[in-house]
Structure 1
Amino acid sequence: MLKFDSPLPLHIQLKEILLRDIRADIYDDKIPSERELMDLYQVSRSTVRQAVTHLVQERVLEKVHGKGTFITKQNAVHDWLNTLNSFSETVKRLGMTPGAVLLEAQRQQASEQEQQYLQCDDVFLIARLRTANDLPIAVERHFYAPEVGEQLATYDLNAVTIYDVIEQQLQLVMVEAEQMICCCPISVEDAALLNIAPHTNVLCIERTILSLDGKVLEYYKSYFHPELYSLRLKIQR
């Protein structure tokens, strides 16, 4: 419920409550009317309108004149398995706006699996939250040999397409990739980033990309929102 003694404005508190309830599927297609929200939370019409306006601007809600305020149907991102595309390329192709939030960029001791792929005692990790139209879609982790990762870290990782930097700026050639796709429970920390329940089973993709010399250039692991991302494959008999 709202905390009237909190320094956080009431309309912001109400916005967060509505957002939480929408994501928890409390409402089917539309939220309660202004009057119902005013009565439920004992706030003014202005507070309700400000909260709803924020969610409309964030494309969570959509107002339909004379009918009410509806929950926006979220567009799912789908990718094809027959080509190696960056997340940004995939999202742009669908007419959506890609985004990235840098979570980590650091050199660290390699795990046994990372050491096996990259043949390094230390690796450079770049972790990012990926979005489409501001919706959280995936938590991506890229692992590189330190000399490659440290070069990538000199760029604005909140804005660049990593594969464009690798190919166009670092002049490294990505020849082919091998992917493993599975379903696994997501961690508490990653679940919070994707706004889903902890330990939800999600789509997990592990990938290695080979360079011209046949060595692994990148080891990649990502977790995708189960309702907002899918993979497609065309096959013939």
Structure 2
Amino acid sequence: MTLKVTTFEIGEKMTKPNHHTRSPKPGPLHSQVRSLIKERSIVGDLIDENGRLKTEAELGEIFSVSRVTIRNAIAPLVEEGVFTRKRGQGTFLRTNVQESWVGNLLGFQELAEIDKYEAGAEILSQGMTADQDQEISEALGVRAVWHLRRLRTANDEPMAIEHAYYPPEIGLKLQEHRLTDIKVYKVLEDEFSIDVVKAKQDIKAKLATKEEAELLNVAPGSALLVSVRLTLTAQDRVVEYLQSIHHPESFQFSIDLVRRRL
């Protein structure tokens, strides 16, 4: 049996709004306006050719609300990274040459609950190390890190090999928990008072080593999917460097994209 798991819903389903007839979604006024600003900016309706968002006064006129409501609507979008503010220039939609995705930041256990499968884990190794790649040290801002290596399973089938790296003050606290089914982000938020708000993730391919092939039950040299995630706080502090090596037939990254007019 091949188990297919949707690991991320990256992006949001959007349709181009009708400027004259579309009504805001139910909820607080600033929340309604926030959703419309985000949607209409991504498709290019509220930004200029340089990606600069219309002014608070202009947006207030468009949505028939006060500048305070506009300000309250935009602030969370800046915190989420949808927009960035440049002093003296305005507010700009964040984009780059690569595709820019927005999605839910979830851990393996949280995904298991949503997708209704039985998640499991085998601890392969854990503890302090200074033998990690320089990239990891630079991302976490420390020389020695706490490293957790696990084989993740779903319905007893191998899904991924996880290498999770943390600063020592976080990792040494995490090791006091049951690491086979820990919800790391919930622990960081609820017990450690660490405000986890976003992540940057890259996805690439690699060939399976002999050990990886044995753990994931594939042939040596098979193509594997690798994701590298930097988990950040609102202050852009990296609190987790997570490398996941996924079984090629068991993971699916679902991505919804929208074309923004340039």
Which TM-score band applies after superposition, normalised by the shorter structure?
0.5 to 0.7
Which residue of structure 2 aligns with residue 132 of structure 1? 154
SS at match of 2:153: strand
Instruction: Name which of 69, 77, 80 aligns with 2:5.
Output: 77
**1:77–1:91 Cα contact (<8 Å) kept:** no
Measured in 2, the distance between the counterparts of 1:161 and 1:187 equals 28
Measured in 1, the distance between the counterparts of 2:181 and 2:197 equals 24
Measured in 1, the distance between the counterparts of 2:205 and 2:151 equals 19
The number of aligned residues is 165
Which residue of structure 1 aligns with residue 141 of structure 2? 119
Measured in 2, the distance between the counterparts of 1:105 and 1:150 equals 10
TM superposition score normalised by structure 1: 0.66
**2:109–2:182 Cα contact (<8 Å) kept:** no
Which residue of structure 2 aligns with residue 93 of structure 1? 114
When structure 1 is superposed on structure 2, of 86-95 and 121-130 the one drifting more is: 86-95
Quote the RMSD (CA, aligned, Å).
1.3
Measured in 1, the distance between the counterparts of 2:138 and 2:255 equals 29
| Correspondence 1:187 to 2:209 | yes
Structure 2 residue runs of 5 or longer lacking an equivalent are 11-102
Which residue of structure 2 aligns with residue 162 of structure 1? 184
**1:123–1:145 Cα contact (<8 Å) kept:** yes
Which residue of structure 2 aligns with residue 68 of structure 1? none
1:175-233 CA distances to partner (integer Å, 9 max, x unpaired)? 21000001111222122111111221111000101123321111110100001111001
Which residue of structure 2 aligns with residue 149 of structure 1? 171
**1:186–1:223 Cα contact (<8 Å) kept:** no
Instruction: Name which of 172, 178, 196 aligns with 1:174.
Output: 196
Identical aligned residues as a percent? 30
Which residue of structure 1 aligns with residue 233 of structure 2? 211
Measured in 2, the distance between the counterparts of 1:170 and 1:198 equals 40
Measured in 2, the distance between the counterparts of 1:94 and 1:213 equals 31
Amino acid at match of 1:76: K
Q: Displaced runs of 4+ in structure 1, greater than 4 A? A: none
TM superposition score normalised by structure 2: 0.60
1:113-152 CA distances to partner (integer Å, 9 max, x unpaired)? 1111011110110111111111110001110111110000
Residue 165 of structure 1: how far off its partner (Å) = 1.6
